[in-house]
């Protein structure tokens, strides 16, 4: 089963009430918020209503909130090679 990965790229401020309602129904509260939904005709129709505001990707499995955060976090870039006696 595949999922839509929907990210709100542009804010819904200034959009008609119907459009803002769709964003609310998708759970997209602020820009760059990411949600995952299974690929169904209902969700596809919702995406069509806000297609100018979101970016959509099809993924195999949904990520948790922590996993999405971990994607953005840069690599530490170092590791402890030799520890001093402590």
Partner 1 sequence: MFSRAIRRSVLDAKITSTPTFPPTFLLPFGARYLQTTTQHIDPPPQGLDAPKLPLKSTPEQTNSVTSIANHVRRSVPLQPAPIAKPLALDPSITEMLPLLAAQPSHYITIHIHGKPYLVTAGDTVRLPFHMPGVVPGDVLRLNRAANLGSRDYTLKGAPYVDERLFECRARVMGTEAEPLRIKEKKKRRNRRINWVQTKLKFTILKIAEVKINRLEELQRVGQESL
If we measure between CA atoms, which residue out of 64, 62, 68 comes closest to residue 1? 62
Token pair 């953005």 is found at 72
Residue with Cβ nearer partner 1 (42 or 79): 79
Based on the shown chain and the rule CB under 8 A, indicate whether residue 66 belongs to the binding site for partner 1.
no
Question: How many alpha carbons lie under 13 Å from residue 71 in its C-beta half-sphere?
Answer: 7
Based on the shown chain and the rule CB under 8 A, indicate whether residue 18 belongs to the binding site for partner 1.
no
# residues near partner 1 by CB under 8 A: 13
Based on the shown chain and the rule CB under 8 A, indicate whether residue 1 belongs to the binding site for partner 1.
no
In the complex, the smallest distance separating the C-beta of residue 71 from partner 1, rounded to whole angstroms, is 13
- 24-53 as b/e, with b when 16 or more CB fall inside 10 Å? eebebeeeeebbbbeeeeebeebbebbeeb
Residue with Cβ nearer partner 1 (17 or 78): 78
Q: Interface with partner 1 by CB under 8 A: which residues?
A: 74-86
């Amino acid at each position: 089963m595949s999922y839509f990965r929907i990210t709100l790229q542009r804010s819904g401020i200034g959009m008609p009430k119907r459009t803002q309602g769709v964003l609310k129904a998708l759970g997209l509260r602020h820009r760059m918020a990411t949600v995952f939904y299974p690929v169904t005709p209902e969700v596809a129709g919702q995406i069509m209503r806000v297609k100018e505001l979101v970016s959509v990707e099809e993924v195999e499995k949904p990520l948790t909130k922590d996993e999405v955060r971990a994607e953005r976090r840069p690599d530490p870039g170092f590791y402890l090679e030799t520890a001093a006696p402590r």
